[in-house]
Chain A
Amino acid sequence: MGKLLGAICMPHVMFPPDGVEEAAERVFAGMMEIRRIVERLNPTLIVMAAGDHFNNFDLAVQIPIGVVVADEMTSLADAGLPSQVFPGHREFAEGFVRFASKHDFEIVQIEEVRPDHGIAFPKTVVDPAGHIPIVPVYLNAVIPVPPSPARCHRLGQVLKGYVEDCRPADEKVLVIGTGGLSHWLRVPGEGRIAEDFDSHVIAALIDGDSARIAALPSEEIIAASGNGGLEIISWLFAAAAAEGGFGRKVFYEPIPAWVTGMGAIELLHLSDPD
């Protein structure tokens, strides 16, 4: 059986530090702490859940859930990031899609994609040398009918089963969920940050109670944390995959100038990763 090292949930962008220098530096320090965590864990593969920001998938074809099966992918140069080539893992990805098909998930396989900052920023944080293969799992929160929190959570459990039942013993998988936390983007209420809801989500996930958040309807999460807040479906996927892991908050900074509650957690299985 393969080894699930655990999960990290983290934002997928930062904004200029102007006027919020100290908070921005704390967030950046948190990102570097995550980099050190991943370096210590030394995964052989990263499964990264994120939403696309209408750079690959938009209203023309609305894909709720997709997995990138490509051997490699070249990221989009967006949010200030340069374009980068990331190695994929076709055999893992195709196997996961087939495994999931036996567990009530028909997942879109993606051969051609230019991952935007939703993948490229966290990948750069956790793997600056760019050597660790990555399997992106697209959970597209911004389409009119997004995958439900419960469905994303269940898919994380399916991933856990796939790694533990079907993968080789020398494979060490880290799951990363990116996005959030609360933010209202280009809608009435833009600028609000729901600190209480963010704290509630963080507490539930690090306490091993992600199912409680996953039981909420999408509409309720959006009402409580903004249209951007639904990005926590990627956190729920990651948390479900890491079920039983030891949870810890890495950082939380509500930054009004960034109109976002910026947070990160780890959910790790504590045995020696090597």
Chain B
Amino acid sequence: MTVAPYYIHRMIQAIHRDPEACAAFASDPAPYYARYGLDQRQIALLEDASVASMTELGVHPNLQMKYLRMRTPRPAAGESALPGPLDAYLDRLLEKRNG
């Protein structure tokens, strides 16, 4: 099993932790690829983002999920819930807390 060089994982982790960096990355990832020293092949695999490409590059599955979210512009996280997989159940799930 291939494991990506740590600088690729480090890039994803660092951007994921920083809402401003997430927004900047979503709008133009090229400066980040340059800053972390990715080569053209690595960039192409990341940009493709398929499971096959990510597996070839060796990106950790959980960091793939972060990377995929980083590519999409979204509001800052804050304390309010962002849209997510539990949306359809929230009213019933939180009923007693809110009531």
Contacts and interface: CB of A to CB of B under 8 A. Distances in A.
Contacts of B52: 188
Interface in A118-161: 121, 124-125, 128-130, 142, 144
B60 to A, nearest CB: 7
Interface of chain B: mostly helix, strand, loop or mixed: helix
A108 interface: no
Interface residues of A, number: 38
B97 A81 contact: no
B96 interface: yes
Given A124-B93, A186-B65, A227-B61, A79 B86 contact: yes
Interface stretch (A8-16, A91-99, A164-172): A8-16
B39 interface: no
Contacts of A15: 85
Nearest to B49: A186
Contacts of A58: 9, 13, 62-63
Interface string A98-130: 000000000000000000010001001100111
Contacts of A16: 85, 87-88
B88 A17 contact: yes
Interface of chain A: mostly helix, strand, loop or mixed: loop
A186 B86 contact: no
Interface string B86-99: 11111011111100
B97 A78 contact: no
B81 A77 contact: yes
A59 B94 contact: no
B97 A124 contact: yes
Contacts of A14: 85-86, 89
A188 B51 contact: yes
A77 B90 CA distance: 13
A53 interface: yes
Interface in B55-99: 55, 60-66, 77-90, 92-97
A196 interface: no
A121 B93 CA distance: 9
Nearest to B97: A128
A124 B94 contact: yes
Contact of A59 (B9, B85, B89, B97): B9
Contacts of B6: 59
A25 to B, nearest CB: 10
Contact of A142 (B3, B10, B61): B61
Interface of A: 13-17, 24, 28, 31-32, 53-54, 58-60, 76-84, 117, 121, 124-125, 128-130, 142, 144, 185-188, 190, 227
| 8 tightest A-B CB contacts, nearest first | A80-B84, A128-B96, A186-B61, A80-B86, A79-B84, A82-B81, A54-B62, A186-B64
